[in-house]
Chain A
Amino acid sequence: SAGHASQGCVWLCATSDRLLIKGGRIVNDDQSFYADIYMEDGLIKQIGDNLIVPGGVKIIEANGKMVIPGGIDIHTHFQMPYRGTTTVDDFSQGTKAALAGGTTMIVDHVIPDPGSSLIEAFDRWREWADEKACCDYSLHVDITHWNDSVKQEVESLLKEKGVNSFQVYMAYKDLYQMSNSELYEIFTFLGEMGGIVQVHAENGEIIAEEQARMLQMGITGPEGHVLSRPEELEAEAVFRAITIASQTNCPLYVTKVMSKSAADIISQARKKGNVVFGEPITASLGTDGTHYWSKNWAKAASFVTSPPLSPDPTTPDYLNTLLASGDLTLTGSAHCAFSVAQKAIGKDDFTQIPEGVNGVEERMSLIWDKAVVTGKMDENTFVAVTSTNAAKLLNLYPRKGRIAVGSDSDLVIWDSDAIRTVTAKTHHSAAEYNVFEGMELRGAPLVVICQGKIVLEDGKLQATAGSGRFIPCSPFPDFAYKRIKARKQLAVLRAVPRGMYDGPVSDFSPMSRGGTPSASARTSPTKQTPPVRNLHQSGFSLAGAPSTEETPIRPAGRRIVVPPGGRSNITSLS
């Protein structure tokens, strides 16, 4: 068959599902080597030299080019409903853009309305995606409110529906935002059930205050968005989320790492041993927040996402470095494309601008250009951050994220020297703008194979809507939970066995135990709390007016010693 070698790809027989890639350099996250790959029925059947394959297979000559596992975009919002409209990229449009960029699997976020059923929302998303997706997909479910029935739904999603990751919000006050106590409960629960907690980390309370302040100052344009969400608030929330996760011994996944300070907190926590994963997105790796000050409202608004892009222009470089060093683990796109007309809902008030940027198509090329071409990252790490780590976290490894016998045949032949200019005119998203407009990116997919079929070749996309399958993810991914499990065994707290304290006990007013102290004295109408979890309240209530001021507690210098008949061994203070 060597005689058929010619420049480009040769189609011997277009009928079957059988495919042979010859002469490629296979790049996995751990090593690179030259081998041929034989695929059948959407699976990799053989890898090696001089493979014995049936006749009539289609042969692709790779000519020594890199063959990498197809990318996994772990963060997308396709077809997301928003105030009566939906994002302009539905599952068909979005996955086409993904495939065009070398991404062969996406993980979309299910966002139920606060108060509604998680499972119903999940089913609705499944329906939309099954109908339209052109590549395999999986789903995260966002937890937008928390109570016992949500808890049961989460459990059944984890155990029966194939969802292993759930997003919670620390921002969007009075809508999605969770209190610290709720976060603690969710983290504890998911830590026990083997789920991954994803957080949208921003301090929503301060944002609400800052937004009100900005609007009051008369700042209504998109620059108000970034002014009211400074990167400190992101860093603060990341720090808090890590603290809660470490308390509850639960693995943590920070979605959308947008700023240097947030990334620093993650890398510090990893050095301290916390199980935390950071996800920078295409936009934060490729561009910065100076555009919010653009004189062109539509352009400025197209960058609106939260957490916002940092106005510090050195941010992308810094995040790429941390991604290369492994402090940040994987990459998504947070692709959530609204048209300019949709963005214009907020033309007089930046808080009304729908949030989201594009990036699913540019993700792989951009990382290659910013990190690999500049020498920060090697090709194996490139595979790790664009595909393998995501597969590991979703517990899909090695089915996805690796080129190995038995894996799904989602492959990309990567042309490391191709140069293309990003522009809204040629991109596959339906949005009429592109936040990376005009950027020249080096590195692009030459051939994309999804489920064993060639979907991109010679710059032509041949995707079929509805061919994408839902890939269920199982709980307790080793990548996150091996350490968690080991720690659970170690971190058992033990009480100190002591004799009973038998010394004197001071009289205290027991009436305030367990009750809100002197509720009648409270004048604030806002501070009414239900009588649950008031453990500490009882521990520290200051009961009544301390009238003891006049009556001396006891003469100075007099020491209370052990009672005449009591044993002294327990209470003595020596």
Chain B
Amino acid sequence: MSHFERRCNKEEDLPVYLARPGSASQSASQSPRQKSYGMFSSVEGAFENKSIALESYCAQRKRSRSRGTGGPPGSRSNGPQARSFFGGTSAADSVRLCVSLPFHLVPQSDRLLIKGGRVVNDDLSFFADIYLEDGVIKQLGENLIVPGGVKIIEANGRMVIPGGIDVNTCLQKPYLGTQTVDDFFQGTKAALAGGTTMIVDHVTPQPGASLLQAFEKWQEAADKKSCCDYSLHVDIPHWHEGVKEELEVLVQEKGINSFQVYMAYKDLYQMTDTQLYEAFSFLKELGAVVLVHAENGDLIAQEQSKILGMGITGPEGHALSRPEELEAEAVFRAITLGNRVNCPVYITKVMSKSAADIVALSRKKGSVVFGEPITASLATDGTHYWSKNWAKAAAFVMSPPLSPDPTTPDHLNSLLACGDLQVVGSAHCAYSTSQKAIGKDNFTLIPEGTNGVEERMSFVWDKAVAVGKMDENQFVAVSSTNAAKIFNLYPRKGRIAVGSDGDIVIWDPDKMKTITAKTQQSAVEYNIFEGMECRGGPLVVISQGKIVYEDGKLHVQQGVGRFIPRKPFADYIYQRITMRSKTMAARGVSRGMYDGPVYDIPATPKYVTPAPSTKTSPAKNQPPPIRNLHQSNFSLSGAQVDDNVPRRSGHRIVAPPGGRSNITSLG
């Protein structure tokens, strides 16, 4: 069967890196990497089963072309057109052909046919044609019957993947009166150029400001400027009763299902454990996802003042004052809180090995927790903070900071490949060098953020797939599908299936590119990945059923991006949570009443902070009289009246003469 033969050839091409993994990458010498290959070697066989099973799609195909001739058996015997067309070409030829060949038959309509591509979803890969109309995938299969005059793209057996979803961008983040240089236009342009067809941006209201107003402002700006579909996370800058109503409105009416809380930024965004507990409990009831910026802000504040006091004012102070332990500690605490409240926790920006390990460990224990490494943490490290060039060092400033440990990217890629980390974001938040220079004399004033929205997909391919850690399906999962599932966009986004949005990327696994600020779409004058060579990139990007990137050229239109509302209670995370809520109910023990003697406690110290007059500390402000449950439990009220009464040793208090002893006896 030519069909099969061809696929076998294709496989010989693909797993070159699987045969001797690591050799393709720059760091074949690193021994820890070698270890993980045993785990991934099974991937080779996995391809065998992934391309044939078109049966599952037959039902859909039948429905979509009910007037068409022939069922699945017929289509198989006919053989795909694209295959016969390119039957004789070698792999090398097809590379060249593909770049030159996309011929447009009729360029005017919204109708688009992708022929001869290998559709790669997160669960399987198979050869099929895709027909798009009105921005939606209408048909999927072989020998599709399509109207005349559609534009045809020949994929020549290349990978066709769901467009990437970047779940962490800050394209309008204000800082001291200025704003990121990449706005929604600039930022989404860069996203599309990198194969990302949807972004989820962070709304960052000021502490005390209305979340709803901030949300509307962001939505307005994005509607005006965005070139691709977008959605929004809303950050909760501080917790109080009034926020609850706004959150309810956002979840139920505005289509927001994810909110970020901060464990860092002391005295600004930071929440106490009690506030976090309340926020988690409330958001869980709403069915939302809690995003956590996990760093211990109290300790950071201490470290910052210490380091400034030592005279360290440059960007290295940023990394020194935020060691990775503080990230790991906060991740651990966030997960503990999540477990107690039975609330899903999503850790944004996993930057260090220790934080990632904690996420992995607690997943093994059954916690519902998700970890999001970002482009920067997967591709580069924090040694650059010590660069002699201030501007370069400052360009890397973000928090949590990049880890100075150069083995970090490799470790994070491994965890991403094995599923311990789930989603890749970019945390794209681009400030120009002159904006960064606000902190030229004090690292705590440097605006935080790095670029990465454009490079995201390519780096995951280069660092994980091209070295054999990850297969192409997992690549789709971490760059798109998992994000869609967690944030309840699936299967509209994150999958190539009939009925899904027409956000599709034809991926070239062999495209080599050198990253440089000169050719990037972002408006900043630097790129933290400057000079890095990167394998893999988009050949054609289709957003909302339109070709927006082709032949290295972008054809974007400002303002076409739609806001995609998201419903709460995403199945992917809340199925388990709902089940656990049912089974986890704690029950009391039914006992008889204790009727033994009870020591008489003086009534006064109860519910009163002991001897407030003796308190000399001005810092220890009086707690409000709420939730002082424990206080009353344990107050030691100074010298006791009966101190001078000697206890008779050996004297036992027994049950009172008349009392029943069955409950109190200790036998």
Contact = CB atoms under 8 A, between A and B. Distances in A.
A80 B483 CA distance: 56
A524 to B, nearest CB: 4
Nearest to A228: B586
A353 B390 CA distance: 59
A90 B83 CA distance: 91
Contacts of B635: 83, 175
A185 B619 CA distance: 13
Contacts of A5: none
Interface in A84-132: 84-86, 88, 90, 92-93, 96, 111, 113-116, 124
Contacts of A180: 296, 298-299
Contacts of A501: 390-391, 437, 440
Nearest to A171: B630
A342 interface: yes
B643 A219 contact: no
B82 interface: no
Contact of B298 (A179, A221, A553): A179
Contacts of A558: 523
Contact of A347 (B239, B432, B594, B623): B594
A517 interface: yes
Given A556-B185, A560-B434, A570-B389, 15 more contacts: A113-B610, A114-B615, A147-B619, A150-B617, A206-B340, A239-B329, A298-B664, A347-B593, A493-B307, A496-B386, A503-B433, A523-B242, A537-B266, A539-B304, A571-B391
B597 interface: yes
B616 A149 contact: yes
A340 B654 CA distance: 9
Nearest to A222: B589
Contacts of B266: 533-534, 536-537
B336 A341 contact: no
A415 B620 CA distance: 52
B204 A542 contact: yes
B586 A217 contact: yes
B666 A113 contact: no
B596 A298 contact: yes
A84 B507 CA distance: 76
Given A116-B614, A172-B630, A219-B586, A344 B599 contact: yes
Given A84-B637, A86-B643, A116-B638, A523 B268 contact: no
30 contacts: A85-B640, A147-B617, A181-B301, A188-B302, A205-B274, A206-B277, A208-B274, A217-B588, A221-B589, A232-B339, A233-B340, A239-B329, A243-B325, A246-B325, A296-B664, A298-B596, A302-B666, A495-B312, A496-B386, A501-B390, A508-B175, A508-B176, A521-B207, A527-B240, A533-B266, A536-B264, A539-B442, A546-B174, A556-B523, A560-B433
A524 B609 contact: no
Contacts of A380: none
Contact of B272 (A205, A424, A554): A205
A214 interface: yes
B510 interface: no
Nearest to A548: B179
Given A243-B325, A536-B265, A113 B178 contact: no
Given A180-B299, A206-B340, A542 B434 contact: no
Nearest to A111: B636
Given A145-B620, A340-B666, A508-B177, A549 B302 contact: no
| Residue of A96, A497, A561, A572 most packed against chain B (CB within 10 A) | A572
A341 B391 contact: no
Contacts of A39: none
Interface string B603-630: 0010001111011111110010001111
Interface string A229-240: 010110110011
A498 B647 contact: no
A255 to B, nearest CB: 16
B25 interface: no
A293 B589 contact: yes
Contacts of B614: 113, 115-116
Interface stretch (A190-198, A391-399, A430-438): A430-438
Given A84-B605, A507-B178, A508-B178, A173 B630 contact: yes
Contacts of B562: none
A351 interface: yes
Interface in A283-307: 293-300, 302
A297 B325 CA distance: 43
B221 interface: yes
A534 B179 CA distance: 23
A77 to B, nearest CB: 11
Interface in A431-484: 432-433, 437
B176 A542 contact: yes
A446 B185 CA distance: 84
B598 to A, nearest CB: 4
A207 interface: yes
Given A115-B615, A175-B634, A246-B325, A571 B299 contact: no
